[in-house]
Each structure stands twice: as structure tokens, then as C-alpha cells.
């Protein structure tokens, strides 16, 4: 009767443990990296949607966009403000099929505001910043990036014509 493991059996067990260890460490690194996502206008909607909230999550920029804060259900999310996210050159528009691009004006020292509700519906803005235009008006798609306001206007006008057909 055999009372010990053979060398081959021990090597197979060590190999299996090594594979499991390698796979699990890779997954932990992915989880850690996911928590360190850098906020940008390209990923703003997705970033805010991934913050756990009951009603809404909002980014609010003040002082000519020098500092921005995230609010979750009307409570400040972190004690640390987001610096250098935007500057005062940011312009926010809404698209109206009759009027075209209409610039959105914020009040009370607010330079930029963007929110996402619990259903994932976000502010329907088109944001011009740093020679790019970000389209947040799509519900199910990721944020679209264009090179000019004219390009966005053409896409919206084509969409309106397609709907009217």
C-alpha cells in the first residue's frame, strides 16, 4: 500500500497552486487599477455612474473652474477637491433642434456642473474644452468626442432629418 505522494504528484500540486496564485494576483492588480481611474471629460459620465448613490451624483466646479467637488446625494463625496480638472475656458451647450447650439450659463460662481441620476441619465450637455467637443446627449452610448461644434451640429441635424423622414 502506498503511503506517500510521488514526486510527479507533488510537482503537479505546486504547479496548480502557482497558476492559481498568478491568476488571483492579476485580478487584484486590475481591481486596484480600476480604483485609480483618472477623471477626464471623456470618462466623466461613466466615472460618476460608477460611484454608488441613491438619487444622484454631481460634479460642481467653482472659482473659474479652479476647483471641483463631487457630491453624492447632495453630500460632499470627499474632503479633497479635484484640482486642474477644467479651467475657465470650458463652454457648455445644449442642442435645440430649432435653435441649434445654445450656450448654458451657470449662476452663483459655478463654472461647470454635471450630474447623473440613479437611472444613469445625465445632464444633456455638449461641452467644448481644450479644442475638443464632448457630447453627453446620448443615453446608452459612451461620451462621443468631436473636433468642433460644427461637427456636432451636423451630426445632430442629420439625426433630426433622419427622424423626420
Instruction: Identify each DSSP E strand in 6-129 by its residue range.
Output: 56-62, 67-72, 75-76, 82-83, 91-96, 100-103, 110-117, 126-129
DSSP per position, 29-73: HHHHHHTTPPP-TTTHHHHHHTS--SSEEEEEEETTTTEEEEEET
The domain limits of the chain are 7-36, 44-164
| pTM across the whole model | 0.73
pLDDT digits (tens, 9 = 90+) for 66-124: 889 999 998 888 767 788 889 889 999 998 888 889 999 999 889 999 999 988 889 89
State which H helix or E strand residue 134 sits in: strand 132-135
Amino acid at each position: 500500500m502506498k503511503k506517500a505522494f510521488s514526486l510527479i504528484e507533488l510537482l503537479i500540486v505546486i504547479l496548480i497552486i502557482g497558476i492559481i496564485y498568478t491568476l488571483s494576483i492579476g485580478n487584484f492588480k486590475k481591481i486596484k487599477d480600476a480604483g485609480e481611474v483618472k477623471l477626464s471629460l471623456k470618462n466623466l459620465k461613466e466615472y460618476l455612474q460608477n460611484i454608488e448613490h441613491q438619487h444622484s451624483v454631481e460634479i460642481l466646479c467653482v472659482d473659474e473652474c479652479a476647483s471641483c467637488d463631487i457630491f453624492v446625494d447632495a453630500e460632499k463625496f470627499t474632503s479633497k477637491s479635484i484640482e486642474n480638472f477644467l479651467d475657465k475656458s470650458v463652454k457648455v451647450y445644449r442642442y435645440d433642434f430649432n435653435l441649434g447650439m445654445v450656450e448654458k450659463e451657470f449662476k452663483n460662481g459655478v463654472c461647470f456642473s454635471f450630474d447623473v441620476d440613479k437611472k444613469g441619465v445625465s445632464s444633456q450637455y455638449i461641452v467644448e474644452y481644450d479644442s475638443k467637443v464632448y457630447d453627453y446627449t446620448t443615453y446608452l452610448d459612451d461620451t462621443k468626442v468631436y473636433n468642433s461644434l460644427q461637427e456636432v451640429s451636423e451630426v445632430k441635424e442629420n439625426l433630426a432629418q433622419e427622424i423626420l423622414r
